[in-house]
Structure 1
């Protein structure tokens, strides 16, 4: 009888954990402005290290929350003012096994750090529009960065 009680408690705890994860995900999506995406957290092994999650647009930030996490704070925050897309490519090698076929990988640069994000092709179009639609900069601030492609050559 004792084994059944322990098994029952474990099943209830597992169900409560799953409920908490999916309830958190539902709360994130409730406010709108969310997308499904993957962010490459680890680059040690080529093609691996992707983390699935929900991207939430809040003002000038894209906040990445891991899918299977109980954390309230986002794992990564990408600021639109310093984010620049360097490359757009299709998943290659082992990435093709972890992503749907219609997804693209964007290699971005923000504050001197490279970040790779993957999302559906149609979502990437909206993401690039969001980047371009940022507010105009002050005339005395840093020069604007192109959203896609190399930086212009200064001379």
Structure 2
């Protein structure tokens, strides 16, 4: 076989793999969102640096937990999980500097306090209202584990 035939075969294989990856991402997102309660949620995984460390993702409410899935991952399980009783809303701010390039245009950055430290999330204003309602929805003294 000539070199150009090998090149065409390799390009075709790469194209097929890229299409399969895209299809797998679509199927995974459909599986994650089929039970509802999902929204676009970015998470700052690295707090060092000026506005760096943001990863796009999908948030899902699952009972007493907020689950976060990376957007471009094929993993079926959430990358991060926060329990409702360990999160508290600390405030919001607008994205600044390079954050505006990393996040969706209409998203605001919020800071939550958790048992493991500060958690920075970015979501739309409508999703923020839902998030605050979810945080406050648990009646005091309720034990959901029984």
Q: Structure 1-normalised TM-score?
A: 0.83
Gaps of at least 5 residues in structure 2 are: none
Secondary structure of the residue that 1:81 maps to in structure 2?
helix
Q: In structure 2, which of residues 42, 45, 50 is the aligned counterpart of residue 46 of structure 1?
A: 50
Q: Which residue of 2 aligns with 1:80?
A: 84
CA drift at 1:112: 3.8
**Which is richer in helix?**
2
Give the whole-Å Cα distance in 2 for the aligned partners of 1:18 and 1:135. Answer: 42
2:79 is the counterpart of 1:69: no
Q: Is 1:17–2:21 an aligned residue pair?
A: yes
Secondary structure of 2:85's partner? Answer: coil
8 Å contact 2:56–2:103 — kept in the other structure?
no
Q: Which portions of structure 1, spanning 4 or more consecutive aligned residues, are displaced by more than 6 angstroms?
A: none
Task: Count residues with an aligned counterpart.
Answer: 139
Structure 2 Cα separation of the partners of residues 124 and 77 of structure 1: 17
2:54 touches 2:103 (CA, 8 Å); kept in 1? no
Bigger Cα displacement from structure 2, 127-136 vs 100-109: 100-109
**What is the TM-score normalised by the length of structure 2?**
0.88
Q: State how far apart, in whole Å, the 1-side matches of 2:56 and 2:139 are.
A: 29
Matching residue of 1:117: 121
Alpha carbon RMSD of aligned pairs, Å? 1.6
Look up the match of 1:147. none
What corresponds to 2:59 in structure 1?
55
1:12 Cα deviation from its structure 2 partner: 0.8
